Amino acid sequence: METSRPTKLQFAVQMTGENCGDGVRAALEGQPGVQSVSVDVGKQEVLLESALSTADVLALIESTGRKAVLKGIGGGGGSEPDLGAAVAVMSGPAGGRGVVRGAVRFVQLSTGRCLVDGTIDGLEPGTHGLHVHALGDLTRDCLSCGGHYDPFGRQHGGPGDPERHVGDLGNIVAGPDGRATFRLEDSQIKVWDVIGRSLVVDAGEDDLGRGGHPLSKQTGNSGAGLACGIIARSAGLFQNPKQVCACDGRTLWER
């Protein structure tokens, strides 16, 4: 896994006039990691290129008092088209801050670049393993998700290791408030291969196969799954009709 490069983000934003648009533009322009901001008040839409996580950009927009919702995410500069997008809505019974909830998005930016962008709340502060599992079965919560997605029969490892499960995404870190926000790229995950499988965040830290524990080369010894979600196909840029109602800020869907 490597540090993510800029990608395009499309938001529906509650804006009632040009003053609102100017405020949103001012909140975004000049921020480190934010590029090429476009605000269309008539369409209630903001399009920008950014290396920040979607949660960080959403916080910047909503700091102006405007309600916003992510509509699409896709590639930044470059000639290769986006090759698919997916989302896993994560849930689990209890973590360090109550019920664990979150959303993680996958965008195939090229055949060798998959963006993984997410926010998960309710975790125990600290480090937690994150893995794609083989099965999209939540009948017994995370217990029925199967093992790590491993189509090549390899040992467990870290995301940058040549010897790893394809589903090995390493660790995410939750802050004192129990929130983990992350935006990473992976060279082995392919969106078309993981749709219908599951994403699991674990109770403990993944030792990346280097811990010397009997489970290190199998699971990273990161403990039981805390929260999981099925990876489902989702909209890319300009494919989502989601809107924000100007009256109360709730999300609407066009018919």
Residues 212, 203: Cα–Cα separation, whole Å? 19
At 81 the pLDDT is: 53
Contact 228, 129 (CB under 8 A): no
- CATH 3.30.70.100 at 2-77+236-252, yes or no: yes
> What are the beta bridge partners of residue 208?
none
Residues 75, 194: Cα–Cα separation, whole Å? 19
**CATH top-level class for 85-233?**
mainly beta
Per residue of the chain (255 residues), give pLDDT as tens.
Answer: 444 578 888 888 988 889 999 999 999 998 988 988 999 998 899 999 988 888 899 999 999 998 888 888 877 655 455 678 899 999 987 555 568 999 999 988 888 889 999 999 999 999 999 999 999 999 999 999 999 999 999 999 999 999 999 999 999 999 999 999 999 999 999 999 999 999 999 999 999 999 989 999 999 999 999 999 999 998 767 666 666 655 544 454 332
CATH topology agreement for domains 2-77+236-252 and 85-233: no
DSSP string, 127-185: EEEEEEES----EEEETTS-SB--TT-PPP--TT-SSS-TTEEEEEEE-TTS-EEEEEE
At 3 the pLDDT is: 47
* Residues belonging to the chain: 255
Q: Which of 231, 232, 226 is nearest to 206 (CA)?
A: 226
At 4 the pLDDT is: 59
Residues 177, 46: Cα–Cα separation, whole Å? 29
Q: Which of 143, 163, 151, 140 is nearest to 216 (CA)?
A: 163
Would you say the C-alpha torsion 232, 229, 255, 12 has a positive or negative sign? negative
Question: Cβ atoms within 10 A of the Cβ of 66, count?
Answer: 21
Q: Return phi, psi of residue 99, to 5°.
A: -65, 135
The SS3 of residue 54 is helix
Residues 229, 132: Cα–Cα separation, whole Å? 10
Q: Where are the domains of the chain?
A: 2-77+236-252, 85-233
At 168 the pLDDT is: 97
Residues 158, 253: Cα–Cα separation, whole Å? 40
Question: What angle (nearest 5°) sits at the alpha carbon of residue 152, between those of residues 108 and 229?
Answer: 50
